[in-house]
Structures are given as C-alpha cells and as structure tokens.
Chain A
Amino acid sequence: DQQVKQNSPSLSVQEGRISILNCDYTNSMFDYFLWYKKYPAEGPTFLISISSIKDKNEDGRFTVFLNKSAKHLSLHIVPSQPGDSAVYFCAAKSGGSNYKLTFGKGTLLTVNP
C-alpha cells in the first residue's frame, strides 16, 4: 500500500514558466515532508522541506505548500529553468523520533528551452 503517491509520472513545462509537482499521502502520522531532486546516475539531493505545523516554506525559486486536511503537498518552481529537468521525489517522515522516510515514486520534470 503506497502511503506517499505522486500521481503524475511526468511533467513538461516551458522555460520561465511555473512547474507544479504534486504529492498525496495517506498516513496522518507523517509529521515532516521533504522534496528531493535526482539526476540520472546520481543519488537524490535534498531540495526543500516543510514541517506539518506549517503550510508553506520558501527557498529561492522553490516553494512547498502543505494542505494537511487534504493530505496533499505541492512543490512550485518559479521560474523553471532547463537545469531543473530531473526526477523529483516527495518524501514523508514518520512521526516522533522515527527517522524513517517514505518516498513517492517520483515525477520526471522536463523544462524545455
């Protein structure tokens, strides 16, 4: 049973426009959420995170929004750049002192020049 779902396997946007990547979760005990970016033949790299007590976190061109009632989070990239083309993973941390992360299957973002 997938507790973290990224329903869009791929997304294509034009350079300079906004990219919106979505993630849904089912476990209400998750208390922290992270987004990772992955290039081919490399390990995932941390991008941005948000605690369950917040609804928005911003870092430069990247903003993560959390809607706890809908169990939904999204990553906005503005403006999108060709170098942003990668697979993006949503991850959720189990509550309390458990450091386990549960990952979605990823969304391939392609930013066209």
Chain B
Amino acid sequence: DAGVIQSPRHEVTEMGQEVTLRCKPISGHDYLFWYRQTMMRGLELLIYFNNNVPIDDSGMPEDRFSAKMPNASFSTLKIQPSEPRDSAVYFCASSEHGTGTYEQYFGPGTRLTVT
C-alpha cells in the first residue's frame, strides 16, 4: 500500500502569493494531521481532522492559514498571503483509529521557501 503522499515536494514562492499544499492519506485511515517543522520551533501540530472534520486547529498560526479535507482521500493546507516566516517543511500524517498505538504515518514533506 502506498504511504502518505504529499505534493509538491518543494515549493518556492514570493511573498504575498498563495500557496497550496496537498496531501493524500493512507487509504482507510480516518485521522489526518498537518505539521510544520522549523529549526526554532521543531515539529508542531497545526491542525488535525477526524473523518474529514477538523477537530483541533489550535496550532494554526493565524488567519492566513486554512486547511480543508473535502473527502477521505484528500486534504489541502493553504497559506494566503504567504510570508518569509512561513518558510518551513510541512508534513502531513495519517492514522487509523482503534489500533491502540496512536501511531501516525508521515508523508515525505513539502519544503516551502517564501522569498
């Protein structure tokens, strides 16, 4: 089975532009997570969904960030407008309820650079 798929792998954009990151979770997983990794703050949770419904968005930094999950196999994280401080690696992860281990499977990440 394919793992978590993220696109694009790299994104370079100019300040003020809209950026959309995409994620396809593992089939059958009912939880989806968006993380951001920076040198300063490490790996931090932005938002997570259960059965396509946002459960906890307390990590979303500000209104410029939004996330959607229109169906069980697709999610987007949008930044509009983007700023240089948004430069980071963004990871998507998914997990399956009921396994008892709370293990999350991560995608390869999208490296975002905002100039």
Contacts and interface: CB of A to CB of B under 8 A. Distances in A.
A44 B50 contact: no
Interface residues of B, number: 23
A43 B44 contact: no
Interface residues of A, number: 21
B102 A101 contact: yes
A32 interface: yes
A98 B43 CA distance: 18
Interface string A45-78: 1100100000000000000000000000000000
Given A34-B102, A43-B107, A49-B103, A101 B91 contact: no
B43 A32 contact: no
Contacts of A89: 43
A43 B106 contact: yes
B43 A43 contact: no
B105 interface: yes
B45 A101 contact: yes
A100 B46 CA distance: 10
Contact of B106 (A45, A105, A106): A45
Given A41-B108, A43-B93, A43-B107, A103 B102 contact: no
A104 B41 CA distance: 9
Nearest to B100: A51
B43 A49 contact: no
A54 to B, nearest CB: 13
A112 interface: no
